[in-house]
Structure 1
Amino acid sequence: MGRFMARQFLLLQGPCSPFFTVLARTLADEGHGVHVLDLCGGDLLYRWRLGGQRYRGDATNFGELIDDFLGYRGISDLVVFGDQRPLHRLAIQAAERQQLRVHVFEEGYLRPHWITLEPQGVNGCSRLPRDPAWFFEAAHCLGPAKPPVPCISPFLTRATHDVVYHLAGVLNPLLFPGYRGHAPVSAPLEYAGYVQRLTRKRLLAGIEANRIKDFVSAPAPYFVLLLQLDSDAQIRCRSPFPDMARVLEETLASFARDAPARTRLLIKNHPLDPGLSAHHRRARRLAQELGIDRRVLFIEGGDLNGLLPGATGAITVNSTSGFVALEHGCPLLTLGDAIYTMPGLATGRQRVPAGFWHDPPAPNGALYQALRTTLLRTVQLNGSFYCRLGIRLGVHHSVRRLVTERSPLEELLSCLPAAA
């Protein structure tokens, strides 16, 4: 019965793409009420045909407004992309006070071909337990997941959506005077950094490819440090480090102090890093100061599937790249809170322990497969936010999930409660 009961959805900010527009239309076509609140010019550009309302104020008054909006409109479900944007946090708090359902979209935990949709929150706010025994039992109950329809969004498609969305920000002073973006730097500054970094990557691609080949094929053991974006909410809100500069300082100092003399360190930059923090220069300077520059290699590119199988271990704060390490059975250390940080899978510390450089514990392959199966059956949806096929698939699966009374994760937790 719950599946066919009309609901009232409120959509706030979505990804920089038409995904939320298609989602809203599909929900409306199925007879559900859809309300849209535009917060900036990018929202308005992509969703102007939906006839949403505009919020012109700032975060100061948003909490009170959204409280009233949810009640006055009879909203039953709040839908957002990302749970750590300031206005989204206020909206989620208001929805929880009124005991409404909250649905949070995010990039896929498992990539490509997947997007994330969870009740209440994602990553550090996820309701997923961190108990290995629970995941073994959950995977047994759920059974294997179906293989996905391949849908990889070309970089140019994603970049085009991002540029178009942020170009519409020229409307903000007039139509959204109180809006302040959640990103720490402006879009034009990021784009300028991307252009410079991509130019440098292309010029040095051949040289770097040879360096990677020589590094990976050498007999001496190596570890991989997986950098994240300074702007990532996982770093800004769910990490003991304010940025990647501090991660580099901590990891390189630990490596110089505690790692065996033959051990090497490969530092891999995030593929979408705009280059504004010049991590390559900082890493080189720190390595020289610590006397380990001959044992450290910083790379802008490289394929994780080629780097991690031969690595002695990998280090990340809480990146989804950690799933790739676990997929290859690579020992993994997390310096922050990640959903895969649990006994038998990934070691969680706020500093790199000396023992990790000497004898990193291998992940339990069966536990990883249990975690992966549980994610695929409960909080991952086949699709993408950016390409046409991915949007069509993602919306189709999302609507089925949104209109049911309880999500698969909620159903699972009701019959298989997590240990207190």
Structure 2
Amino acid sequence: PALVLFTDGFDANYNDTGPGSTIGEEAFFKALSASSVPVYSIGFGANADETTLRRIAERSGGEYRAADEKNVADLFSKVAESLSREFEVLYRRPKGAPSGSKAVVALMIDNSGSMSASEGAFTRMEAARSALYRLVDGLPEEAAVSVAAFTGTVRSLQSPTHSKASLHQAVSSMAPSGGTDILKAVRSALEELSATPAPRKYLFFLSDAAMNVAKSKEAELDAMLGRIRDEGIFTLWISMEKGTAEEGFKRAAALSGGAYVLGENHEALLRAVEEMLKRVRALASDDRVAVEAVVKVPGDDGLPVALAGSGLASLPAMPKEESQTPFSARAGTLSISFEPLDLSAAARPGKERDAPKKDVPRKETTSPSAFSAAGVFAPSRVVPLGSSGRNDAVEITAGAFALAES
């Protein structure tokens, strides 16, 4: 099932006395998430509530489109095309334990030229690096952490990793230059965390610039902040600038359900780090399993295009395999008896040596045998192997290859 929502305005409870929604915003988005129904929202005209319509579409897995008299018919055709696609997905349950309460942390750090300004004994960049080193060292070993720097663009310095050495290297590579694009930074962080299936997600957002965007982009920013809240991503918004710049960060914290901290100097930044560590270290339990699906569809040029999606599902893990797996019915039944081989006369491991020859000539017999009269196996050459292999039926380790000449 899917839902197409077409409107040219706001909810009536927003700005007039007409009958509107009977539930609040928080209850609505909670119900939307629980429904698992994608909503394709279309805002018609200049008065449509773009912020809410974007948020509805993105939170439900649908799409948002802005329409006018010229393109509305074409937009409905595109929605119909999207809904006509059918996919068959095969899911295999994981054999290991679910991801549980492992945390995913994204560090989005301002690297603009103004970060070279001095704040006491440190430049802003030096203070930020020092605080980030403390944060990286204090995070749990199992936390997956990424580092990105933003100026007029966003650069990924380190993809999600558990390696603290790699994270230190990424932080040390940061250098101030260029301008600041807040909208790109928020979008990049949100896209990365949304694509990562994990029950606990955190965003550490640090900048010395105001949270200002162009008037035409305010609805898009507000929609992204609302989506951060809907997806349960805790965000710590840190401003290194006092005054009017703080207001934008406070507003971002309120809309995203996060927290705001003024990090005007090195000591203040260290306090912000402790705030984040306290939240990430908090014990939590979650038995959901991370699920990722990838499908291929024909692109406009006829070539296959991969589409990926991920999420968390309450699916039990398959039982762990025993160390020794019995044969299945398809494999049949096999009985092998192995006797120990006395290699006391063999060479040391890693070399090949002929076995000692007897002083008396070997007596020819009509029935050649590699065994002595006493029934002892007497190889003429031994080659140490030390190799092993296994399949679903059996595991075998070959210690040495013995050649017997009769």
TM-score, normalised with respect to structure 1:
0.25
Bigger RCO (CA 8 Å, 6+ sep): 1
- The structure with the larger Rg is 2
Answer 1 or 2: which has greater strand percent.
Answer: 2
Answer 1 or 2: which has greater helix percent.
Answer: 1
